[in-house]
Homo-oligomer: A and B are copies of this chain.
């Protein structure tokens, strides 16, 4: 299948100017030009454009995209899987922002109050995430974890000790969960203690706590593979167990946990 600029543009939902620009900077060159100089694109270019748009969607600049896909060791399927991971991460970031908006709403309605620094937590968490995603791996390798952690703590306006505390608590939640999970009973004392620790841990980053949000997050842990994998590490079915424990903890009716 061959496409002229406009046909490909329509297909992909971009402007012809964009295609010409991509040609100009060498990001996406047409398969050939016909006798009158018309740009002709083939199916290889269609696939490449799709990839470019995937990465553009992630917020990468065209220069980075070029480097990524022109890399000789570029592994298509692996890149796609990474891409998927990042999209999932972005969804989690969105959930954070939504929580932030909801807190703001409830604050506006007088149901609670927000300190000034709480008002920006969602945005800053995003900065951290973007940083981590783009440079985390390289920099962690080069300068070690301490540098990164310090920067993260700074961005969250936490003191370093607070951040340490935060990370310690996180580990505690994980180990308690592993322990509790083996009993198999989400309403056991140990499991409830785990849920309580989890709430405490949450309070570090969430502006305001609500049972509903807590339960909702727990459900997300099960639905989102990355979270699930994280909590399943210590113990088989850990994410589900944690969710059930939190459901008991927050007092959700077991019959219809969601509404």
- Chain A interface residues (CB < 8 Å from chain B): 1, 10-13, 43, 46-47, 50, 53-54, 57, 76-77, 80-81, 83-84, 87-88, 90-91, 94-95, 97-98, 101-102, 104-105, 108-109, 116-117, 119-120, 123-124, 127, 155, 157, 216, 219, 222-223, 240, 254-259
Contacts and interface: CB of A to CB of B under 8 A. Distances in A.
Contact of A119 (B46, B116, B123, B216): B46
A259 B257 contact: yes
Q: Report the copy number of this chain in the oligomer.
A: 2
Given A12-B120, A13-B123, A77-B109, A90 B94 contact: yes
A256 B257 CA distance: 11
Given A116-B46, A120-B50, A258 B223 contact: yes
A222 B213 CA distance: 15
Contact of A57 (B76, B81, B123): B123
A92 to B, nearest CB: 10
Contact of A258 (B95, B119, B258): B258
A77 B98 contact: no
